[in-house]
Amino acid sequence: MSAPDETDAAAAAQAKADLDAIPKIPYARGLRLSGREIIRIAMLVSTLVLVLVMQKPCSQGISAFVTGFDTGSAAPPPHAAPAAVGSNGELVHLKPGMTDEQMKQQIDSARAGSAAE
């Protein structure tokens, strides 16, 4: 019985040698990160969380800011001539170089023209 035991032992040794020749995936090593890499990953994760958390409040604030311009709270540009409205709701064109008397005359003539119609 010793002969079969020797062949079994030799076969087991050959099988072990064959298995040792096969490259193995390094399971035991795990994931090794340096301190610098861990800090970078933590900063990236915190930035992504910040973007997700601040998305709605920032979008509402920007929306209120942009739509606030529609209320007409802005002053007219300094070079713009003052607009006058005649009695029929038609605008009277006033030019920037006009004196106060010329402006009044233009507005009165527009009112008189609309009253005649």
Reply yes or no on whether the pLDDT at 87 is more than 80.
Answer: no
Residues 64 and 85 in one domain: no
Q: pLDDT of 10-40, one tens digit each?
A: 888 888 888 888 887 767 667 788 899 999 9
Q: pLDDT of 27-77, one tens digit each?
A: 766 778 889 999 999 999 999 999 999 888 888 888 888 887 766 655 666
Q: pTM here?
A: 0.34
- Does 16 fall in a domain? no
- Does 24 fall in a domain? no
- Does 22 fall in a domain? no
Burial 7-40 (b: 16+ CB within 10 A, else e): eeeeeeeeeeeeeeeeeeeeeeeeeeeeeeeeee
Half-sphere exposure of 97 (CA within 13 A, CB side): 0
